[in-house]
Amino acid sequence: MDNPFAPPGHDHASCVLSALDAAEAVCARRGERLTPLRRRVLELVWRGHRPVGAYDLLAMLQHERGRVAPPTVYRALDFLCEQGLVHRLDSLQAFIGCGQAADHQDGREDGRHRAHFLICRDCGIAVEVRDGQLDGAISHLAGRAGFAISDETIELSGRCADCQNEWIMGA
Protein backbone atom coordinates (compact mmCIF):
# COMPACT_ATOMS: atom_id res chain seq x y z
CA MET A 1 0.00 0.00 0.00
CA ASP A 2 2.12 2.87 -1.21
CA ASN A 3 0.09 5.69 -2.65
CA PRO A 4 1.84 7.00 -5.77
CA PHE A 5 -0.24 10.20 -5.88
CA ALA A 6 1.69 13.34 -5.04
CA PRO A 7 0.31 14.77 -1.77
CA PRO A 8 -1.28 18.24 -1.93
CA GLY A 9 1.46 20.04 -0.01
CA HIS A 10 4.54 18.55 -1.68
CA ASP A 11 7.41 20.61 -3.03
CA HIS A 12 6.13 20.92 -6.54
CA ALA A 13 8.76 23.43 -7.59
CA SER A 14 11.25 20.59 -7.41
CA CYS A 15 9.00 18.39 -9.54
CA VAL A 16 9.11 21.09 -12.22
CA LEU A 17 12.83 21.67 -11.91
CA SER A 18 13.73 18.03 -12.16
CA ALA A 19 11.42 17.60 -15.13
CA LEU A 20 13.06 20.50 -16.95
CA ASP A 21 16.55 19.31 -16.05
CA ALA A 22 15.75 15.81 -17.26
CA ALA A 23 14.36 17.28 -20.48
CA GLU A 24 17.50 19.31 -21.11
CA ALA A 25 19.62 16.23 -20.51
CA VAL A 26 17.52 13.97 -22.72
CA CYS A 27 17.49 16.43 -25.60
CA ALA A 28 21.19 17.19 -25.31
CA ARG A 29 22.04 13.51 -25.42
CA ARG A 30 19.87 12.97 -28.50
CA GLY A 31 20.89 16.11 -30.33
CA GLU A 32 17.33 17.44 -30.20
CA ARG A 33 16.56 21.09 -29.57
CA LEU A 34 14.60 22.05 -26.49
CA THR A 35 13.81 25.53 -27.74
CA PRO A 36 12.46 28.26 -25.45
CA LEU A 37 8.95 27.64 -26.71
CA ARG A 38 9.12 23.89 -26.18
CA ARG A 39 10.71 24.37 -22.79
CA ARG A 40 7.98 26.81 -21.80
CA VAL A 41 5.21 24.47 -22.94
CA LEU A 42 6.79 21.67 -20.94
CA GLU A 43 6.91 23.97 -17.93
CA LEU A 44 3.24 24.85 -18.37
CA VAL A 45 2.30 21.18 -18.66
CA TRP A 46 4.08 20.72 -15.37
CA ARG A 47 1.95 23.39 -13.71
CA GLY A 48 0.60 20.55 -11.61
CA HIS A 49 -0.07 16.84 -11.65
CA ARG A 50 -3.38 17.23 -13.43
CA PRO A 51 -3.60 16.57 -17.17
CA VAL A 52 -3.87 19.80 -19.17
CA GLY A 53 -5.81 20.34 -22.37
CA ALA A 54 -4.04 21.71 -25.43
CA TYR A 55 -6.38 24.67 -25.45
CA ASP A 56 -5.64 25.40 -21.80
CA LEU A 57 -1.98 25.60 -22.74
CA LEU A 58 -2.92 27.76 -25.69
CA ALA A 59 -4.75 30.17 -23.39
CA MET A 60 -1.75 30.35 -21.04
CA LEU A 61 0.60 31.09 -23.91
CA GLN A 62 -1.75 33.70 -25.31
CA HIS A 63 -1.88 35.31 -21.89
CA GLU A 64 1.88 35.76 -21.87
CA ARG A 65 2.65 36.31 -25.58
CA GLY A 66 -0.44 37.71 -27.25
CA ARG A 67 -1.55 36.00 -30.44
CA VAL A 68 -0.71 32.32 -30.46
CA ALA A 69 -2.42 29.81 -32.72
CA PRO A 70 -3.25 26.14 -32.03
CA PRO A 71 -0.48 24.72 -34.26
CA THR A 72 2.12 26.39 -32.06
CA VAL A 73 0.93 24.42 -29.07
CA TYR A 74 0.33 21.17 -30.91
CA ARG A 75 3.76 21.26 -32.51
CA ALA A 76 5.44 21.73 -29.17
CA LEU A 77 3.33 18.95 -27.69
CA ASP A 78 4.13 16.66 -30.60
CA PHE A 79 7.82 17.22 -30.05
CA LEU A 80 7.57 16.66 -26.31
CA CYS A 81 5.51 13.49 -26.82
CA GLU A 82 8.01 12.17 -29.35
CA GLN A 83 10.80 12.71 -26.86
CA GLY A 84 8.75 10.96 -24.17
CA LEU A 85 8.73 14.09 -22.02
CA VAL A 86 4.98 14.44 -22.16
CA HIS A 87 2.21 11.88 -22.57
CA ARG A 88 -1.23 12.22 -24.05
CA LEU A 89 -4.06 10.71 -22.05
CA ASP A 90 -6.47 9.48 -24.70
CA SER A 91 -9.32 9.01 -22.28
CA LEU A 92 -9.14 12.70 -21.36
CA GLN A 93 -7.76 14.22 -24.54
CA ALA A 94 -5.22 15.94 -22.36
CA PHE A 95 -1.49 16.00 -21.70
CA ILE A 96 0.68 15.36 -18.68
CA GLY A 97 4.38 15.60 -17.95
CA CYS A 98 6.24 12.31 -17.98
CA GLY A 99 6.84 11.03 -14.49
CA GLN A 100 9.83 8.92 -15.54
CA ALA A 101 11.80 11.35 -17.67
CA ALA A 102 14.74 11.10 -15.28
CA ASP A 103 15.03 7.29 -15.55
CA HIS A 104 14.57 7.36 -19.32
CA GLN A 105 15.97 4.08 -20.58
CA ASP A 106 15.20 4.94 -24.19
CA GLY A 107 13.04 1.97 -24.99
CA ARG A 108 12.90 3.00 -28.63
CA GLU A 109 14.70 4.96 -31.27
CA ASP A 110 12.63 8.00 -30.43
CA GLY A 111 12.13 8.85 -26.79
CA ARG A 112 8.75 7.21 -26.30
CA HIS A 113 8.22 4.52 -23.73
CA ARG A 114 5.46 2.49 -22.14
CA ALA A 115 3.34 4.70 -19.92
CA HIS A 116 0.44 3.49 -17.80
CA PHE A 117 -1.74 5.76 -15.70
CA LEU A 118 -3.98 5.99 -12.69
CA ILE A 119 -6.36 8.92 -12.99
CA CYS A 120 -8.39 10.18 -10.04
CA ARG A 121 -11.80 11.47 -11.02
CA ASP A 122 -12.23 13.42 -7.80
CA CYS A 123 -9.02 15.41 -7.50
CA GLY A 124 -8.15 15.14 -11.19
CA ILE A 125 -4.58 14.05 -10.55
CA ALA A 126 -2.98 11.46 -12.80
CA VAL A 127 0.13 9.42 -12.06
CA GLU A 128 2.30 7.37 -14.32
CA VAL A 129 2.86 3.91 -12.90
CA ARG A 130 5.07 1.02 -13.83
CA ASP A 131 4.37 -2.55 -12.92
CA GLY A 132 6.32 -5.59 -14.01
CA GLN A 133 3.41 -7.93 -13.47
CA LEU A 134 1.19 -5.78 -15.69
CA ASP A 135 3.89 -5.54 -18.35
CA GLY A 136 4.26 -9.30 -18.21
CA ALA A 137 0.53 -9.93 -18.51
CA ILE A 138 0.33 -7.66 -21.54
CA SER A 139 3.30 -9.26 -23.26
CA HIS A 140 1.94 -12.70 -22.53
CA LEU A 141 -1.52 -11.81 -23.84
CA ALA A 142 -0.11 -10.33 -27.03
CA GLY A 143 2.24 -13.25 -27.49
CA ARG A 144 -0.54 -15.81 -27.27
CA ALA A 145 -2.55 -13.88 -29.84
CA GLY A 146 0.43 -13.56 -32.18
CA PHE A 147 0.00 -9.81 -31.90
CA ALA A 148 2.95 -7.40 -32.16
CA ILE A 149 2.32 -4.40 -29.94
CA SER A 150 3.59 -1.03 -31.04
CA ASP A 151 1.63 1.23 -28.68
CA GLU A 152 -0.19 0.83 -25.39
CA THR A 153 -3.00 2.96 -24.06
CA ILE A 154 -3.54 1.96 -20.45
CA GLU A 155 -5.47 4.42 -18.33
CA LEU A 156 -7.25 3.41 -15.16
CA SER A 157 -9.80 5.90 -13.88
CA GLY A 158 -11.23 5.90 -10.41
CA ARG A 159 -10.57 7.39 -6.99
CA CYS A 160 -7.19 7.80 -5.38
CA ALA A 161 -6.60 6.74 -1.77
CA ASP A 162 -6.76 10.30 -0.45
CA CYS A 163 -10.06 11.07 -2.13
CA GLN A 164 -11.55 7.85 -0.77
CA ASN A 165 -10.47 8.83 2.72
CA GLU A 166 -11.95 12.29 2.40
CA TRP A 167 -15.32 10.73 1.82
CA ILE A 168 -15.01 8.57 4.89
CA MET A 169 -13.92 11.51 7.02
CA GLY A 170 -16.77 13.64 5.75
CA ALA A 171 -14.44 16.39 4.57
Partner DNA sequence: ATTCATTTTGTTATGTTATATCATTTTGTG
Partner DNA sequence: CACAAAATGATATAACATAACAAAATGAAT
Question: What's the closest the beta carbon of residue 48 comes to DNA, in angstroms?
Answer: 16
CA 15 vs. chain centroid, Å, equals 12
4 counts as binding a copy of itself under rule CB under 8 A: yes
Among 31, 63, 151, 171, binds a copy of itself (CB under 8 A): 151
Q: How many residues touch a copy of itself (CB under 8 A)?
A: 39
By C-beta, is 14 or 150 nearer to a copy of itself? 150
Residue type, 71: P
Question: What's the closest the beta carbon of residue 39 comes to DNA, in angstroms?
Answer: 9
By C-beta, is 103 or 122 nearer to Zn ion? 122
Question: What's the closest the beta carbon of residue 71 comes to Zn ion, in angstroms?
Answer: 29
What gap in Å lies between CA 147 and CA 140, rounded to an integer? 10
CA 69 vs. chain centroid, Å, equals 23
Q: Burial code of 73-86, b = ≥16 C-beta within 10 A, e = fewer?
A: beebbebbbebbbb
